[in-house]
């Protein structure tokens, strides 16, 4: 079985369309989405529609929670707060019902799909360093956990009597001993200084994780965000990928 795992699209339609076109050439069996389809970008509805039509398993992100009014957005920074309120106002009842169907996590054989962390998924903990990965691994029953949330492609590999090995996201073959937490990066708002859209494929026969980077029309996305009057900081960061 070959899977494409996409996450953190954030209403960026141009990035999502480019990624879906790229995925088509990888001959995957299924596409699964790890959450945050919406929030920040100017096309929440079109992105939801595409995810609903193309993705098999759809995982809940904190931005979906916010759109459903289930997340306290007082802690969000001002730009994120403004975009969350704007996004919520764009969505129809039908689209909100679509989001409400998203799952908190999903296990497929020896892999776990979740948005933020296997540890208290509704608390949206960030796995950003070896200490956080060690805690998350305690809650992981599967061999591999694929997640998003930080928008930074990263791999944490379990080690005996040591903190997990932390590496920048790269193609790899899991070894027999370790369990892994794999951050698949972000389709619509990368934050690793590479503005290209990012996603991962997992091939359970080749036993291989591959990272993919995809160019998309950033300027068009930025123009649409400007027209929607979305915060300037969110528009500017797309060209820098951070
Ligand atoms: Zn996100």
Distance 177 CA to ligand 1 centre (A): 31
pLDDT tens digits, one per residue of 166-211: 999 999 999 988 999 999 999 999 999 999 999 999 999 999 999 9
pLDDT tens digits, one per residue of 119-166: 999 999 999 999 999 999 999 999 999 999 999 999 999 999 999 999
Domain range enclosing 88: 2-240
How much is the mean pLDDT over the chain? 96
CATH of the domain at 171: 3.60.21.10
- Show the 3-state SS of 79-96: HHHHHHHHHHHHCCHHHH
Distance 144 CA to ligand 1 centre (A): 20
Distance 40 CA to ligand 1 centre (A): 9
Ramachandran category for residue 160: left, alpha or beta (phi over 0 → left; psi -120 to 50 → alpha): beta
Q: Is 237 helix (H, G, I), strand (E, B) or coil?
A: helix
User: In total, how many domains does the chain have?
Assistant: 1
pLDDT tens digits, one per residue of 9-45: 999 999 999 999 999 999 999 999 999 999 999 999 9
pLDDT above 90 covers a percentage of the chain that reads 96
Look at the alpha carbons of 40, 119, 23, 192 in this order and tell me if their dihedral is positive or negative: positive
pLDDT of residue 71: 85
Distance 124 CA to ligand 1 centre (A): 10
pLDDT of residue 185: 98
Distance 87 CA to ligand 1 centre (A): 14
Distance 90 CA to ligand 1 centre (A): 18
Distance 160 CA to ligand 1 centre (A): 31
pLDDT of residue 4: 98
Report, in angstroms and rounded to the nearest whole number, the Rg of the chain calculated over CA atoms: 17
Burial 33-48 (b: 16+ CB within 10 A, else e): bbbbbbbbbbbbbebb
75 band by pLDDT with thresholds 50, 70 and 90: confident
């Amino acid at each position: 079985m070959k899977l494409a795992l996409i996450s953190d699209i954030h209403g960026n339609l141009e990035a999502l369309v480019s990624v879906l076109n790229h995925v088509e050439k990888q001959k995957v069996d299924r596409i699964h989405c790890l959450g945050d389809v919406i929030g920040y970008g100017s096309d929440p509805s079109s992105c939801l529609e595409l995810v609903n039509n193309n993705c098999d398993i759809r995982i809940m992100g904190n931005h979906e929670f916010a759109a459903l009014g289930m997340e306290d957005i007082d802690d969000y920074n001002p730009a994120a707060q403004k975009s969350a309120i704007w996004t919520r106002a764009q969505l129809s009842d039908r689209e909100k019902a679509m989001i409400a169907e998203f799952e908190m996590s999903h296990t497929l054989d020896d892999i776990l799909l979740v948005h933020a962390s296997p540890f208290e998924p509704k608390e949206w903990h960030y796995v950003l360093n070896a200490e956080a990965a060690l805690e998350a691994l305690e809650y992981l029953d599967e061999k591999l956990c694929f997640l998003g949330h930080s928008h930074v492609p990263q791999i944490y590999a379990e080690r005996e009597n040591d903190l997990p090995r932390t590496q920048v996201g790269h193609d790899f073959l899991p070894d027999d001993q370790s369990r892994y937490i794999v951050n698949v990066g972000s389709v619509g708002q990368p934050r690793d200084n590479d503005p290209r859209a990012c996603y991962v494929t997992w091939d359970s026969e080749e036993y291989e994780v591959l990272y993919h980077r995809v160019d998309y029309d950033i300027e068009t996305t930025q123009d649409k965000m400007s027209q929607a009057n979305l915060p300037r900081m969110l528009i500017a960061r797309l060209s820098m990928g951070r």
